[in-house]
Amino acid sequence: MVGGNAIRGSRVGAGPMGEAERGDSAPRRKVTYYCEHGHESSPSFAAEAVIPDSWDCIRCGLPASQDREHPPAAPRTEPYKTHLAYVKERRSDEDGAAILEEALQALRKRRSL
Ligand SMILES: [Zn+2]
């Protein structure tokens, strides 16, 4: 057995999938997840790891899935949406729209700084 391993060790660079291993002892694979906002998160997992059905978006923190067409819905615990829903409960749609526009403008201003 020892002899066989030594021979295999000399063939680094020719993995079973034809991928170069470059000395990385743990082969990894990249999985892409899509959130409701269309962000892509591509964490990599150990080849033998169980790939989770969902992943938190690296950009907005929403749950993301591998199904680009059907990303998971945002949970109700998202602070911004919860606040907006709260505001909408108390005000007319017009007021809600104005508040949303105001919030978006504040957001854009913050991003341009
Ligand atoms: Zn996202």
Domain boundaries, the chain: 28-65, 83-112
Question: Vertex 56, ends 55 and 62: CA angle to 5°?
Answer: 125
Supply the pLDDT for residue 101.
87
Q: Which residues are annotated as a binding site for Zn(2+)?
A: 35, 39, 57, 60
Q: Residue 1 in 3-state DSSP?
A: coil
Q: Which amino acid is at 68?
A: R
Ligand 1 geometric centre to CA of 23 (Å): 33
Ligand 1 geometric centre to CA of 59 (Å): 5
Ligand 1 geometric centre to CA of 29 (Å): 21
Do the beta carbons of residue 44 and residue 51 sit within 8 Å? no
Residue 6, pLDDT > 60, answer: no
The string of pLDDT tens digits covering residues 14-26 is 555 555 555 556 7
Q: What architecture is the 28-65 domain classified under in CATH?
A: Single Sheet (2.20)
Ligand 1 geometric centre to CA of 27 (Å): 27
The string of pLDDT tens digits covering residues 53-94 is 999 999 999 999 999 999 988 876 555 556 666 666 666 677
pTM of the model: 0.46
